[in-house]
Amino acid sequence: MVMRSSPLPRMSRRGRVTVGVLVGVFVLFTLLGWGVNAWTDWLWFDEVHYTGVFSTVLTTRLLLFLVVGAAMAVVIGGNLYLAYRLRPLLRPHSSEQQTLDRYRMALSPRIGIWITVISVVVGLFAGLSAQGRWDTWMLFRNAQPFGTKDPIFNIDIGFYVFQYPFYRYLLGVGFTAVVLAVIGSLAVHYIFGGVRLQGGGDRITNAARAHLTTLVAVFVLFKAVAYVLDRRALLLSYNEGAKVYGAGYADVNALLPAKEILGYISIVVAIAIILFSNAIIRNLVWPGVSLALLGISAVAIGGIYPSAVQSFEVNPSTLDKERPYIKNSIEATRAAFGIDKVDIKAYPGVSQPPPASLATDTSIVPNIRLLDPQLLSETYTQLQQARGFYNFGDKLDIDRYNVSGNTQDYVVGVREINYRTGLTAQQSNWLNRHTIYTHGYGVVAAPANRVCNEQPYFVSGFLGDEGSDGCQSATEEIKTSQPRIYYGEQMEDGDYAVVGSRGNGSNAEFDRPTGNNEQYYTYDGTGGVPIGSFVRRLLYTVKMQETNFLLSEAVNDNSKLMYVRNPRDRVAKVAPFLKLDGDPYPAVVDGRVVWIVDGYTTAATYPNSERVNLQSVTSDELTGSGAVVAQAREEINYIRNSVKATVDAYDGTVKLFEWDDQDPVLKAWNKAFGGNLITPKAEIPQELSDHLRYPADLFKVQRDLLARYHVSEPNEFFSGQDYWEVPNAPDDPDRGQKQPPYYLMTQLPGQDDPRFQLTSAVTPRGRQNLAAIISASYVQGQPKLEALELPDQSVVSGPVQVHQQMTNATDVRGQLSVLAADGKATVQYGNLLSLPFDNGMLYVEPVYVKSNQQNAYPLLQRVLLSYGDGSNAVLASNLEQGIKDLVAKGDAQRQQAGQPPSGQPEQPPPPQTGDQPPAMSPELTAAAQRVSAAIDEAKAAQESGDFTRYGKALTDLEAAMDAFQAAQRAANNNRPVNNTPTPTPTATAPPPTTTPSAPAG
């Protein structure tokens, strides 16, 4: 006798209660955490007056969760229940069925509960996945026309950007639902005998066959829909033959009709599966044959045929076949990334001696930026810190201001609290960190083209000690009515502040030091969430996991809590649909300090457009350092700088201003949030507009694409001979990091007046000479991209090349070695500026020296200049002297070439007097002896280790060298031209310079 298997053992009552309690506690804490986060988020959005964003996003996510989750649960649950209802009442006796009896006995009494649990779990996961697609749904629902149609299907671009992604998602949900339904139904049919693996006769009942084959037919119908969408997706694919994105010759002429044919075949196969399985033959042989034929057709028609067309028709004459499709990609890419209107002008780029006009120029030379925001942070911190807990970040910013009727660029830094490393252990306790040290103070600015004693000349951000230093203006030139910084770049998660009156009339917040005293302050702005009530304090005790909200006397009825204090994070929370520039910057607008954040709208489904990795194309030498945040690793093929956002540094107010009023993606988002989320461009205040700048990350993306897509003719594009590339950082090219673009207030050839613009040099692909200068600026509120393209045969050096030539020049290399002081100091190079001038190229590179002593900071001790290439390199103590030296070199080269010096008529060459060079004048001889003596003293001081003596010796050495150069220029002007060079002190001693020790902290 065969013994029947016993049913599955039942859990004891105590076990069921324990499991129920554990599940209940888990659900309770999960819901509690979600509820606390939702409530506090609502309070935060209410503070910034954007509750519409919170409610719209939350409602959309909940609806998607419920609708998709419920739909998935109904599909799965319905099919499981149908499979159970279609179970056979009589099952043949077999060992297989006897084995399954125990499972049937366990499931049958509670089949409804099991089906419900499985359906709910599947629906839960489906709903969680769906709520993450809230942005896709909102764009789909609020789609806007682009007004441009694709060249293949003649469909508006808006379909691809707004509707195609959602259709793809729905199709994916449909496939998932059918596959899970087939698996679940098959399992139920097997357990309850509808499908058997053993025994004689039919191994599947008619009911089970009808159910399962119908599901398979639905799957095949979904495949037919997928083929329809695949046809559109060809415009988003990569054309390997032409090396561009978009449909190619084989796609349009082979794969496109193949997809259409496969779509029709899929419909026929779906019908055949249902008919042959249930109406005609009533078995699975012909349905299996139909599916096999569909697979064979997909391989033959959708794979082999297009490959054959590519191999035998396209590859032998790729350019002829792909020319129109390459043109489609060029036009689409240029339009999608906003580079279709770039103004490319030819620039001679001649190689000539430095022109005399450098000395009299009033448009470019006076505005040359010497201060490098990348290197000056330590300088600002040491000179303007005042207290150890203040900090300016790892990188400063560039902006322009009109002071006394003159507009120029300034290096700007915000004096913030350094919560990471600035506070001592005592200062870092909860009370000090969150209620005392709540804010920074002041915007410190210095003209970018002015140097005072090798350091910046500060004009703002004083702490009450105006006029105390010769390198500081007597009064604030950039005035702020509210200099306190409660919201800043250095504030991260956890850096919250509790502000408000303590109730006893005293000020508790540290405000700023003034002389030997310290002033305190009580915040009276509109920022912060009120937390005076017990319920609010309890709420934030849970959120922040900090009991002091309930226990500390610093938190009272007047208290307000400031959190999410980083400007970039605040904008991201208010406008979650934007990609944000990695480098927000501060500006003084109408007396208040505001952070300006550039916002981008992007897409990844613009047809025929090049797809780029946003993180890769925006990464350079500065990315990830200081306040320059790396972009997310995301593929995009459309971008617009559609929004200019501001965050008030005192009260945290966030404002979103429309910048690109033609962007359909921004219009869709604005409509999705009620139509009033974005302030129209016409309402941007003029004071703010004066400080808007072309965003760096957008420029990097456009620069990377212009390197190829400045070529608009398909033949030339396919050959790739005229491609450019972004050079590596000139001072360390082996690291493989790109040279960052730089902001300048300058006037480039073809421009009517100086502009504040972002510029970058590019080189030919695979070479180091200069190919073009790309610039971006705003003209009358509209973006303007320009490029000065040099001839292919140009020999003007590129950034990496000219840096190497300048630093290796004979009369420069030795001076740089002296600056390094035998390893006791570090030479740092600032931005290498490439400035078109007089049909040639002027290169300017500031040279900073930082002592290796503790708390030392970089000093601007020299300026490297070159015109044309590194053979004209000069290293001067300041820009004015460097320009004079360059002009002198140009005069000397013109004289050697038999041309008149600058400003003089051409004269016949003097008669030759012999091969010996003329003797040095007495003045020059005396100056050379003075230099030699100064060098000896500097060496002796260095060996003695007496830094005071060494600093004085280097100062004397600089003065001696300046006197020698002046005597040398006088001698050159007073003697006839001779091709034999005059001896200089470098023949007997290292070239002099200064390396004063940096003052300690």
- pLDDT on residue 793: 80
**pLDDT over threshold 70, residue 697:** yes
What does the pLDDT look like over 214-272, one tens digit per residue?
Answer: 999 999 999 999 999 999 999 999 998 899 999 999 999 999 999 999 999 999 888 88
Taking residues 193-221, what's their average pLDDT? 83
- pLDDT on residue 856: 86
> How many residues make up the chain in this entry?
1001
Which residues are 460's β-sheet partners? Answer: 445
**Mean pLDDT, all residues of the chain:** 86
What does the pLDDT look like over 790-804, one tens digit per residue?
Answer: 998 888 889 999 999
Taking residues 415-443, what's their average pLDDT? 91
What does the pLDDT look like over 763-790, one tens digit per residue?
Answer: 999 889 999 999 999 999 999 999 999 9
Q: Record the tokens describing residue 443, joined without a space.
A: 């915007």
Which of 29-33, 905-909, 957-961, 988-992 comes out lowest in average pLDDT? 988-992
Taking residues 159-173, what's their average pLDDT? 97
Cβ–Cβ < 8 Å for 601, 640 = yes
DSSP letter at 486?
A: S
> What whole-number distance in Å separates Cα of residue 437 and Cα of residue 485?
11
Helix (H, G, I), strand (E, B) or coil at 180: helix
Taking residues 703-725, what's their average pLDDT? 94
Taking residues 429-446, what's their average pLDDT? 94
Phi, psi at residue 580, to the nearest 5°?
-110, 145
Count of C-beta atoms within a 10 Å radius of residue 413 = 28
> What whole-number distance in Å separates Cα of residue 627 and Cα of residue 857?
19
- pLDDT on residue 965: 67
Cβ–Cβ < 8 Å for 435, 415 = no
pTM: 0.85
- pLDDT on residue 998: 37
Q: Which has the higher per-residue pLDDT, 882 or 464? A: 882
- pLDDT on residue 996: 37
**pLDDT over threshold 50, residue 978:** no
**pLDDT over threshold 60, residue 1:** no
- pLDDT on residue 91: 67
- pLDDT on residue 657: 98
> What whole-number distance in Å separates Cα of residue 790 and Cα of residue 764?
10
- pLDDT on residue 909: 47
Cβ–Cβ < 8 Å for 222, 174 = yes
Taking residues 869-897, what's their average pLDDT? 86
Residue 616 exposure: Cα atoms within 13 Å on the Cβ side: 8
Which of 40-44, 191-195, 990-994 comes out lowest in average pLDDT? 990-994
DSSP letter at 493?
A: T
What does the pLDDT look like over 726-773, one tens digit per residue?
Answer: 999 998 898 889 999 999 999 999 998 999 999 999 999 988 999 999
What does the pLDDT look like over 569-610, one tens digit per residue?
Answer: 999 999 999 999 999 999 999 999 999 999 999 999 999 999
Q: Record the tokens describing residue 690, joined without a space.
A: 């004066």
What does the pLDDT look like over 91-120, one tens digit per residue?
Answer: 666 666 677 777 777 778 888 999 999 999
Confidence grade of residue 32 (pLDDT, cut at 50, 70, 90) = confident
What does the pLDDT look like over 817-850, one tens digit per residue?
Answer: 888 877 788 999 999 999 999 999 999 999 999 9
The vertex-849 CA angle with 834 and 621, nearest 5°, equals 50
**pLDDT over threshold 60, residue 168:** yes
- Can you give the C-alpha Rg of the chain in angstroms? 37
> What whole-number distance in Å separates Cα of residue 680 and Cα of residue 941?
66
- pLDDT on residue 285: 66
What does the pLDDT look like over 313-356, one tens digit per residue?
Answer: 999 999 999 999 999 999 999 999 999 999 999 999 888 889 98
Task: Name the E strands within 419-568.
Answer: 440-441, 443-447, 451-452, 455-456, 484-485, 497-499, 509-514, 517-521, 529-530, 560-562
> What whole-number distance in Å separates Cα of residue 166 and Cα of residue 187?
32
**pLDDT over threshold 60, residue 467:** no
**pLDDT over threshold 50, residue 906:** no
- pLDDT on residue 300: 87
**pLDDT over threshold 90, residue 2:** no
Q: What torsion, rounded to 10 degrees, do the Cα atoms 428, 430, 434, 438 define?
A: -30
Residue given tokens 């046809």 in the structure block: 231
What H or E segment, with its residue span, contains residue 100? helix 95-107
Distances (CA, A) of 731 to 90, 803, 834: 85, 7, 14
What H or E segment, with its residue span, contains residue 255? none
Which of 31-45, 167-181, 380-394, 921-935 comes out lowest in average pLDDT? 921-935
β pairing state of 782-789 and 343-346: parallel
**pLDDT over threshold 90, residue 504:** no
**pLDDT over threshold 60, residue 942:** no
Which of 288-292, 369-373, 432-436 comes out lowest in average pLDDT? 288-292
Cβ–Cβ < 8 Å for 136, 39 = no
- pLDDT on residue 990: 38
